[in-house]
Amino acid sequence: MTKPHGLAQVASMARRMINDKQTVPYMKILAVVLSSWLLVACGGGGSGGSSVTVSVDTGIFTVSGTVATGKAIAGATVSAKCAVGTGTATTNADGTYSLAVVGGKLPCLLQITNPADDSKLHTVATGNGISMTANITPLTEMLVARLLRTEPSLFFSAFDAVFATGTITSSAVFAAQTDVGTLLIGTVDTSTLGDFITTTLKAATSDNLAGGDAHDRVLDVLGGKISGSQLILLVSALARLPSLADVKQVLLTLGIH
């Protein structure tokens, strides 16, 4: 038999064998095709055989969402660091963004830098699909601090893919959100938000201050109760204090009610 010299010949051989399925069982088809593919890929099957380099497309996934604090953050740089791969984008006037990670692997940690004051917010993307939603807000900032048990900006700057893969899981994200929601009882009601990260978020803008949805209105209330400087201290407490009761004490000490 003439040895195939490319994947096209292997595919052609497979089709001929399948058409002759009365004489060749399907499992044998698979075995022969795989064997032929290995010969092609490795240049095996005797001296003088040509070597073929087989490239594998590991695919692409996108992460999109809205960046807001009760009002859209426009023109912010969004950066993603993933278990494998990175991506960047810039937010639109309504705070929305979409970035692509080529040949990447989840989970991802995302960071935005607010062009108004250089402050940073974070979120995470998990799952195994090709299109993920990841809003970036003060709520996700608190969630990420509780999830990682370290300050998000510090972890992002020294990103550890192995630690991130073992820590940023769907169940751990849910537990971190539960802690943040519990902490904020009596301050902000987050119970209407099924998920801080993926629940639809339409933010108010400078041109449409009343255009925010229910998610955005929760952020409005949060921003009215917790200032930017207080948020930094609260995020630090969520990251460093194991006991939620101790974090609650920090909240009260900051005069947040």
* Dist CA 111 CA 91 (whole Å): 12
* Dist CA 76 CA 156 (whole Å): 17
Given its phi and psi angles, is residue 187 left (phi above 0), alpha (psi -120 to 50 degrees) or beta? Answer: alpha
Write down the pLDDT at residue 59: 73
Residue 47 has pLDDT above 70, yes or no: no
| Tokens encoding 160 | 């550890």
Q: What is the pLDDT of residues 188-210, one digit of tens each?
A: 999 999 999 999 999 999 999 99
Write down the pLDDT at residue 58: 53
| Tokens encoding 206 | 């400078």
Task: Give φ, ψ of 231 to 5 degrees.
Answer: -60, -40
CA distances from 207 to 71, 210, 211, 212 (A): 11, 9, 9, 11
Query: In percent, how much of the chain has pLDDT > 70?
Result: 77
Give the pLDDT band (50/70/90) at residue 138.
very high
Write down the pLDDT at residue 161: 97
What is the length of the chain?
Answer: 257
Write down the pLDDT at residue 129: 87
pTM: 0.78
CA distances from 191 to 14, 46, 150, 170, 199 (A): 56, 68, 25, 19, 12
Give the pLDDT band (50/70/90) at residue 15.
very low
- Domains delineated in the chain: 1-55 (no CATH), 60-253 (2.60.40.10)
* Dist CA 50 CA 124 (whole Å): 46
